[in-house]
Structure 1
C-alpha cells in the first residue's frame, strides 16, 4: 500500500503491472478456476459496478450555485471537446488511428480527468466554489462519459440498455450517498480496494509485451490530453468573471480510465482486441498528465496575473512569489 501511494495512479498502475507480470510468466494462473478465476480474471464487470456506485456516492446534491455552474461548464467542455477529438481522429484516420494511437484510446481517455489532482490544485489556485465543482465532474467518472460520446457520435454501437445499465449503479450510489453520510464515507473508504482488484483483472488480459508496445503511444496520448486541457482553459475563461487557471487541469487523464476499455468492449465487441493496449495507454497517459499538468496550471496562473494583476480575494490567482 505504501508503494502504491508513492506512485502516481499507483492503485491502478501497480496491480495492473503485477497482473501483466503474472500473465507473462504463468499465463495459466488466472484460469485455475473457482474463486481465483472469478476474482482475478472474470470479475471485471462486477467490480466496475461497485466502482460506479462509489463514484455516484461522491456526488453531493447540496453543491449548487457557483460550484454547480463551474462544474457544469467544465463537464460540457471536457465531453464536447474530448468527443470531438476522438470523432475527428476516427473520421480522418480510421479505427486504427496512427502512431499506435487509436480513436478508441482517445474516447476512453479524453473524457476523464484526475479529480484528486484537480482538488489539490484548487487548494492553491482556486476557492471553495472550484473545489465544489468536483461533485459535478464526478458524473463522468468511469465509462459513462466515454460510452455517451461514442454512442452519440456513431463510432460505437452501444445499446441503450448498456447505457442505462452503466447509469443505474451511479444513481444508486448518488441517492444512497446523499441520504446517508455513513454510506458515502463507506464508499470513499472502499473505492481503493475495488480499484486495486479491478485493475488486476484488467491487467490479467494482457502481458508485458503489451505494456512495452504501448509506451510511446501512451505518452503521445498524454500529450494530446494536455493540449486538450489548454484548449479548455481558453474556452473556460469566457465563462468566468474571475479568471482561473484551473481549466487546464481538465487536461489530465484519470488513472481509472484504464478500466473503461473493457466495459465499452463488452457493449461493442468490435473493440475487444484493443482493450489490453488501450488500457495500458490510458495508464501511461495518466502518469504523464499528472506530472506535467501542475506546471501548466502554474504557467497560466502567471499569465492571468500579468493581465489582471494579483487579487487577494478568494479564488483569485496566487502571486508568483507564493508558488
Structure 2
C-alpha cells in the first residue's frame, strides 16, 4: 500500500520543514521520554541537527555553479548583496535600539535571520513566468544565503553576537566542499539534489524536538507580524534591484520572502553563541510562520509589479507593409506607344 506521505507533505507550503517540526514539538511536549532513550534514536532525532546542517550546507554548495558567468553571475551577486545589506541594516536599527531582545516579541536574531533569507524555490518558480534564463541562473550565486552563514556573518561583524571566526569557518567549509565536488562531478550533484528533502525533514524534526507547543502559541502573532514585515521589504527590494539592471524586472519583489529553512537558523547560530539560546524556540516558530505568510504574498506582489512594468512599457506600433501598386508591364507600354 502506497499512501504517498512525501507527496502530501509537499502539497503543504513549506511542508517538508513545518510538518516534521510541528510533529517533533508535539512529541516533545506530550511524550518527551520517547526521544530521550539514547542511542541512534536520540542522536538522530533529538541532537542530530548539527550533523544534518553540515550535510545541508554541503548540498547547498553543490548547487553553486562556478562556471556561471555573464548576466546570471551579475544578477546573483546583486541579489546576494541586497540580502547582506538588509541584514546589516536590521542589526544596526533593531540591535542598536532594542538590543538582542528586539521588539514586539521578535528578537533581533529572528529579525536578521528573516531578512537575510528568501525562498529560493519560490523565486525559481516565479522566474518561469516573470523572468528569463539569466534570472533563473542567478540562483547559482544567490543560494549562498541558504543556511545560517550570512546571518552569522552579519551578527558577528556587528558585534551583537559573539560569533567566533572558527564557527563561521565551520559553516563555510561544507559549502566549499560541496561547491568544488558538485562542479567536478555532475553525478554527485544530482545525488545531493535528490537527498536534500530527506536531510531537511530530519533536521527540522531534530530542531522541533527541543521545543514545546507553548512556544509555538506564544510566537504565533509575532510570527505573522514578522511575515508581514518581510513581505513589505519586497517593495523596497523591487526598486533597489532595478537600479542595477538595464532591463527592469519584477523579480526583485521576490526577495521579500522568508525561507522555510530559515526556521533552522536560530538553533545553528545559538550553537556558536550560547547567549542567544533563550531566543531560539520563539524565533524558530516565528520564522516558520513568516515563511508561510510570504509564500502567499510574494506571488501577488511580483505579479502586480510585472503588470505595472508592462503597462509602462512603450507600445510598439506595428507598421503595415505598403500596398503594392500595379505597375504597367513593359509590353503594355510599348504596345500603347505603337498605337
TM-score by length of structure 2 reads 0.90
Q: Aligned residue for 2:39?
A: 34
For structure 1, the residue ranges without an aligned partner over 5 or more in a row are: 312-323
Deviation readout 1:266-295 (Å, 9 max, x if unpaired): 000111111111111111111100111000
Q: Aligned residue for 2:60?
A: 55
| Superposition CA RMSD, Å | 1.1
Specify which of 258, 261, 273 is matched with residue 253 of structure 1: 258
The answer to whether the 8 Å contact 2:118/2:259 transfers is yes
CA distance in 2, matches of 1:143, 1:73: 19
Matched, 1:305 2:310: yes
Shift of 1:309: 4.1
Shift of 1:209: 1.1
CA distance in 2, matches of 1:178, 1:127: 23
Q: Aligned residue for 2:108?
A: 103
Mean CA deviation greater in 285-294 or 227-236: 227-236
Q: Aligned residue for 1:156?
A: 161
Deviation readout 1:205-256 (Å, 9 max, x if unpaired): 1111111111111111111111222111111111111100000100111111
The answer to whether the 8 Å contact 2:91/2:158 transfers is no
Matched, 1:273 2:278: yes
CA distance in 2, matches of 1:260, 1:78: 15
The answer to whether the 8 Å contact 1:81/1:228 transfers is no
Shift of 1:81: 1.6
Q: Aligned residue for 1:70?
A: 75
The answer to whether the 8 Å contact 2:123/2:254 transfers is yes
Deviation readout 1:60-119 (Å, 9 max, x if unpaired): 112110000011111101110232123311111222122211111011121111111000
TM-score by length of structure 1 reads 0.94
CA distance in 2, matches of 1:229, 1:62: 29
User: What is the DSSP-based 3-state SS (H/G/I as helix, E as strand, rest coil) of the residue aligned with 2:242?
Assistant: helix
Aligned runs of 1:212-291 on 2, under 5 Å? 212-291=217-296
Matched, 1:209 2:214: yes
Deviation readout 1:107-147 (Å, 9 max, x if unpaired): 11211111110001000000000000001111111000101
The answer to whether the 8 Å contact 2:62/2:192 transfers is yes
* Larger gyration radius, structure 1 or structure 2: 2
Specify which of 180, 183, 187 is matched with residue 185 of structure 2: 180
Shift of 1:310: 6.9
Q: Aligned residue for 1:314?
A: none
Specify which of 197, 206, 210 is matched with residue 202 of structure 2: 197
**May I ask how many residue pairs the two structures share in their alignment?**
311
